[in-house]
Amino acid sequence: MNAAKDNSLRVDGATLFYRVRGSGPMLLILPGGDGDADTADALRHELIDRYMVITYDRRGMSRSKIDGPGQSLTIATHSDDAHRLLAALTNQPVFVFGSSIGALIGLDLVARHPEQVAIFVAHEPPAFELLPDEERNRAMQLQEGAEDAFRREGIAAGFKKFVELAAVDYNDREPEVALPPPTSQRSANLSFFFTNDSPAVRRYRLDLAALHESATRIVPAIGSAAESAPYRAAEGLAARLKEKVVAFPGGHTAWLLRPKAFAAKLVDVFNNRLK
């Protein structure tokens, strides 16, 4: 069956917008940054002939409205949303891919609900606790500096520092890929990210014991184009879990900038881990 639907799901404190497209085994995509269901369009397009792809707007982003301000948003809040979304759609374990904050959300999902995830690809999670002291302190300072720049100078200043932290090169993209245009909705999403999600990332700590015990196959992944703090954190995760790190084409945002090559590698990883 080829599924094509947009819908909403009521969760504690919010209403989530989600999208289902394609046919085959279910695959949940958890994008990074201010990414929403639309941001993953190009990647989803490359996957829907093989998978039933689920994307959604994180709470506070785009169409996923929160009930009121002042909520204490955590990575666990986001992973609980992902858990409830999957529970509403299936009672079988699914494939999950997450990048950056999406990778942290996925790791928390695996730690809390391993029965829902068959294979999880964790692409450059900003788990800076896994870095050596000097690198960790530098990464945390850069992230706090981005939040400070946002508060003092606005979105563009904060975003510039995040690009530096993750070593993102927007020129490293497939020819047909166009960068997301600036819109009022994008500005609102970035403001929400800097105010709520970025601090939640800094506060989060992995449950390494639960990840070790999980039956889920966890695949730590890096972008092959450039080293950065999230790249090194992925290497640290692989070392802690005694797994091999897998190199994907492109950099930290290659799921957005190089969707064809990225999707091909993702399919290859899922197929190999099933054997």
Question: Is the per-residue pLDDT at 274 higher than 80?
Answer: no
* Predicted local confidence at residue 179, as pLDDT: 84
CB contact at 8 A, 243 and 121: no
Q: Where would I find the H helices in 126-258?
A: 133-153, 155-166, 184-192, 198-203, 208-213, 229-241, 254-257
3-state secondary structure of 133: helix
Q: Report helix, strand and coil shares of the chain as percent, to nearest 5.
A: 45, 20, 35
Q: How confident is the model at residue 5 (pLDDT cuts 50, 70, 90)?
A: confident
* Predicted local confidence at residue 70, as pLDDT: 57
Where exactly are the structural domains of the chain? 3-274
Contacts 24+ apart (CB under 8 A), 88-91: 88/9, 89/20, 89/26, 89/54, 90/26
Question: Is the per-residue pLDDT at 1 higher than 70?
Answer: no
Please report, rounded to a whole number, the percentage of residues in the chain having pLDDT higher than 90.
92
What is the distance between the alpha carbons of residues 96 and 14, in angstroms, rounded to a whole number?
22
**Mean pLDDT in the chain?**
95
Quick one: which of 8, 2, 135 has its CA closest to 63?
Answer: 8
Question: Is the per-residue pLDDT at 275 higher than 80?
Answer: no
Question: Is the per-residue pLDDT at 181 higher than 90?
Answer: no
Q: How confident is the model at residue 182 (pLDDT cuts 50, 70, 90)?
A: confident
What is the distance between the alpha carbons of residues 194 and 203, in angstroms, rounded to a whole number?
14
* Predicted local confidence at residue 69, as pLDDT: 72
Tokens of 141: 């300072």
pLDDT tens-digit readout, 159-168: 999 999 999 9
Q: How confident is the model at residue 197 (pLDDT cuts 50, 70, 90)?
A: very high
pTM: 0.96
Which of the 8 DSSP states describes residue 57?
P
The arrangement of secondary structure in 3-274, i.e. its CATH architecture, is: 3-Layer(aba) Sandwich (3.40)
What is the pLDDT averaged over residues 222-231? 95
Quick one: which of 29, 105, 49 has its CA closest to 74?
Answer: 105
Distances in Å between the Cα of 219 and the Cα atoms of 82, 94, 97, 148, 235 are 19, 14, 9, 33, 11
Question: Is the per-residue pLDDT at 272 higher than 90?
Answer: no
What is the pLDDT averaged over residues 63-73? 84
pLDDT tens-digit readout, 119-129: 999 999 999 99
* Predicted local confidence at residue 2, as pLDDT: 61
What is the pLDDT averaged over residues 206-219? 97
pLDDT tens-digit readout, 144-161: 999 999 999 999 999 999
